[in-house]
Amino acid sequence: MTNEFDLVVIGAGSGGVRAARMAAGHGARVAIVEKRFFGGTCVNVGCVPKKLFSYGAHFPDEFALAEDYGYSIAGWKFDWATLRENKTREIARLNGIYRRILDQAGVTIFEGHGRVEAPGQVSVDGNILTTDKILLAVGGKPFVPSFPGNEHVKISDDLFYLEELPKQVAVVGGGYIATEFAGILHGLGCEVTQIYRGDLFLRGFDGDIREFVAEQMAEQGINLRFNTDVDRIEESEGRKRVFTNSGEQLEFDDVFYATGRIPYLDNLFSADATPSLGKNGAIQVDEHYQTSIDGVYALGDVIDRLQLTPVALAEGMWLAAHLFGKAKPSGPLDYRNIATAVFSHPNIGTVGMTQEEALATIGAIRVFKSSFRPMRYTLGDRQVRSMIKLIVDDSTDKVLGLHIAGEDAAEITQGFAVAIKMGATKADFDATVGIHPTAAEELVTMRQGEFIRA
C-alpha cells in the first residue's frame, strides 16, 4: 500500500467523504483517515438517527388521531429496545455504504487517528502519509460547560444508545438539538422539562416562529423553563438533583445537555502545524477553504460557517473541483438562501431572511402570516396548529424569506427553496395556482400583508 497521495482527508463524515470521492473522480490519488465511524455525526449520532427517533415519537399522536377517523387503537404499547436496535442496524447499513462508496471511487482508507505533523505530512497511529494537500473534515463534538456536577449529565450522543428511557428528564439548551430532543423524548413518553438560560429558545430563527413553537410545545405538555440556568447537579440513588440560578431544586432521572457543539480538534495538530483558529476554536479558512498553512484545507462543521450536512457536501464538491477539476468553479460557494429544518414538534422549515434580518438589511418589508388548524385534525378536539410566514421586500416585491412551523414543514420548504433561490417575487407566488386542500397552498393564497418599516 502506497503512502504517497495527492490528497489526504482526515475525517470520513459527509464533507470528507464527498471531497475524497469527487477528488478521486477527478484523477487524484486520495486517502481518507477515520478513527471512529464512517458517515460522521450526521449518519451516526445526528440527522439520521434523530429523524428516525422523531418519526417514532409521532406515533402516539397518530394513534390518538386515528380514533377520530373511526379506528380503534386500544392496547398499543411501545418497546424502546426495538426502536433503538432497529436504528442501530440501519446505521450499520449506512456505515457499510459509505465504505463501499470510498472503495468504489478508489480512495485508500486508513482507520486510526489522523494528525497533521507538518505541511504535507499526516500520521495515522505512527504511520506517515505524504501528500500534496491535506483536508481537515473532522466535524464537531458536543460541548458541556464546566459547573459542579457536570459529570452527571448525558450528551446528545448518549440518547441514541440508552439502555432504558428515563421517566423524568431535563434537556438543557435552547438550540435546535435541545428543542428536537425535548420533542422526541416527550413523544416517546417521557416527562420532559427543557431548561434554557435565555428569554426564548431557537435564537437566530424568525421571532414569530420561535414563539409559535414554544406555544405548541407547552400545549403538548412539555415544561419550558426559560430564563433558567443550572448552577450545579447532585446525584443521589440514581436521581439527578438540579439546582437552578433561581434557587429551585428539580429532580430527574436523567439530564441531557445540548448546549452547542465545538470543533473536534483533539490531538489533530503537532505544535508546528496548527493553523489559525477563531474565538470558538473553529479553523479559519479563506473563500477557497485554505487555512493559514499552505496546502492545508478545512471544511464542514470544523470551520463553523453553517453546521449543516448538505453544506458540508457542497463544500466538499466545490473544493474537489477547485483543487483537481479541469473545469474550476466560477466563484466561491454561495451561502445565501440555504434552506434548513428543525425536527422539533412541531417541525420547522426555513429559507432566507427572518423578519428581524430583513428589517436590519432592507428597512421596509411586507409580512404575510397565516396560522391555521390543519384539515386532518378537524374531525377531533386536538388543537394542533401550523404557521406559515413570508417576508417580502416592499420595493422589489422579492420574497426574502419563507418560514413554516407545522406538519411537513421541511418537505414544503425544500420545494419552495428553489423559488426563493431563483429570486421569486410575491407576484410569482400569487400567480401560482395552489393544490387544494393542502397546507402548502397557504403560501400562494395569502393576500393581506403587513407593511413594516425599521
280, pLDDT greater than 90: no
Same domain, 370 and 300: no
49 to each of 44, 90, 93, 161, how far by Cα in Å?
Answer: 7, 9, 12, 10
Residue 188: alpha-carbon gap to chain centroid:
21
Please indicate, yes or no, whether residues 160 and 245 belong to a single structural domain of this protein: yes
Residue 85 has pLDDT above 70, yes or no: yes
> Which of these three, 324, 353, 368, is where a domain ends?
324
Q: How far is it, in rounded angstroms, from Cα 349 to Cα 372?
A: 16
Q: Are 258 and 156 in contact (CB under 8 A)?
A: yes
* 418, 419, 421, 426 alpha-carbon torsion, rounded to 10°: -160
Q: Considering the domain boundaries, does residue 454 fall inside one?
A: no
Question: Domain range holding 266?
Answer: 4-140+262-324
Q: Is position 305 within any domain? A: yes
pLDDT over 90 (residue 451)? yes
Confidence label for 1 from pLDDT (cuts 50, 70 and 90): low
CB 361 within 8 A of CB 389: no
Q: 131: how many CB neighbours lie within 10 A of its CB?
A: 22
CATH number at residue 23: 3.50.50.60
Q: 2 pLDDT exceeds 90?
A: no
Set of cell numbers at residue 325: 477539476
Could you tell me the CATH number of the domain that includes residue 407? 3.30.390.30
Mark whether 171 and 237 lie in a shared domain: yes
Dihedral sign for Cα atoms in the order 389, 354, 418, 392: positive
Q: Looking at the structure, tell me whether residues 188 and 133 fall in a common domain.
A: no
Nearest residue to 342 (alpha-carbon basis) of 280, 410, 443, 291: 410
10 and 130 fall within a common domain: yes
Number of domains in the chain: 3
Judged against a pLDDT cut of 90, whether residue 3 lies above it is answered with yes
**Residues 201, 363: Cα–Cα separation, whole Å:** 25
273, 300, 324 — which closes off a domain?
Answer: 324
Same-domain status, 129 and 268? yes
| In-domain check, residue 335 | no
Q: What is the pLDDT of residues 416-432, one digit of tens each?
A: 999 999 999 999 999 99
pLDDT-derived band at 200 (thresholds 50, 70, 90) equals very high
Element (H, E) at 341: strand 340-342
Average pLDDT of every residue of the chain:
97
For 25-48, how does the pLDDT look when each residue is reduced to its tens digit (9 = 90+)? 999 999 999 999 999 999 999 999
Residues 299 and 270 in one domain: yes
Within a domain: 120: yes
H or E, element range at 22: helix 14-25
What's the rounded mean pLDDT across residues 125-135?
96
Residue 22, Cα to own-chain centre: how many angstroms? 24
Please count the CA atoms within 13 angstroms of the CA of 250 that sit on its side-chain side.
26
Q: 126: pLDDT confidence band, cut at 50, 70 and 90?
A: confident
Give the pLDDT mean for 87-108.
97
What stretch of H or E contains 55? Answer: helix 47-57
**Average pLDDT, integer, range 66-81:** 95
Statement to judge: residues 411 and 345 lie in one domain: yes
Query: CA nearest 187: which of 165, 213, 209, 208?
Result: 165
Active site residues: 436
Give burial (CB, 10 Å; 0-12/13-18/19+) of 173: buried
195 and 274 in a single domain? The answer is no
Q: Which residue has the cell 427553496?
A: 417
Final residue of a structural domain among 243, 259, 275: 259
Q: Is residue 331 part of a domain?
A: no
Which residues are part of a known binding site for NAD(+)? 173-180, 260
Burial profile 302-328: b = 16 or more Cβ within 10 angstroms, e = fewer: bbbbebbbebbbbbbbbbbbbbbbeee
In a domain, 403, yes or no: yes
pLDDT at 183 over 90: yes
Question: What's the average model confidence in pLDDT over 262-267?
Answer: 96
Inside any domain, residue 329: no
Q: What is the mean pLDDT of residues 82-97?
A: 97
Kind of pairing between the strands at 364-372 and 386-393: antiparallel
Neighbours of 449 (CB within 10 A): 16
Q: Which amino acid is at 298?
A: A
Mean pLDDT of all residues in 364-385:
96
Q: Which residues are annotated as a binding site for FAD?
A: 51, 114, 301
Each residue of 221-245: pLDDT tens digit?
999 999 999 999 999 999 999 999 9
Helix residue ranges per DSSP H, 265-389: 309-324, 355-361
Binding residue ranges: 51, 114, 173-180, 260, 301
Same domain, 14 and 117: yes
3-class state of residue 420 by DSSP = helix
Based on the domain organization, do 223 and 236 belong to the same domain?
yes
Domain annotation covers residue 129: yes
Q: Say whether pLDDT at 209 is over 90.
A: yes
One domain for residues 164 and 212: yes
Q: Is the pLDDT of residue 438 over 70?
A: yes
